[in-house]
Amino acid sequence: MLGQDDAATPAPGVSVELLAALDLGPEITGMQGRQLRMRRFTFAPGAIFGPVHEHKDRPGLVYVLQGTITDHRAGIARDYGPGAGWPEEHETMHWLENRGTLPAIEISVDVVRLGEEQIAPSP
């Protein structure tokens, strides 16, 4: 099992922009210390977002706006283009890349503990 030190970090060619965040404690009973956040990830052509990272205790959803992002899970590579996306549930262990010739952009929405600096998408 991966620890927090193994979480994906920003990689060359991948930029991350925080679009919005909401403290869930005042919104939902039992969610104290959790935050809902939305980020935009831009992958330059050839960019890799890794290493393999997990989403245990950090569920999320990803939606591709532009280009194609390849999601690698359990030895299977799956391409997602504009208008498609995927869930990142507690069993997700993966890494991402842009194998295309154009920048790829995704929106990642996830639930994290307040104060976590994890960058992994969501992506």
Spell 84-104 as b/e; 16+ CB within 10 A means b.
Answer: ebbebeeebebbbbbbbeeeb
In whole numbers, what is the pLDDT of the chain averaged over residues?
Answer: 86
58-111 pLDDT, tens digit per residue, is 899 999 999 999 999 999 999 999 999 999 989 989 999 999 999 999 999 999
52-63 pLDDT, tens digit per residue, is 888 888 899 999
Asked whether 88 and 55 are in contact (CB, 8 A), the reply is: yes
pLDDT on residue 116: 66
d(CA 9, CA 5): 9
d(CA 121, CA 53): 10
Going along the chain from its start, the domains and CATH numbers come out as 4-113 (2.60.120.10)
Does 8 score more than 50 pLDDT?
Answer: no
Give the CA angle between residues 68, 11, 47 to the nearest 5°.
30
pLDDT on residue 119: 47
pTM for the full model?
A: 0.82
Q: Which residue has the higher pLDDT, 2 or 15?
A: 15
pLDDT on residue 5: 36
pLDDT on residue 1: 33
pLDDT on residue 112: 93
Asked whether 7 and 53 are in contact (CB, 8 A), the reply is: yes
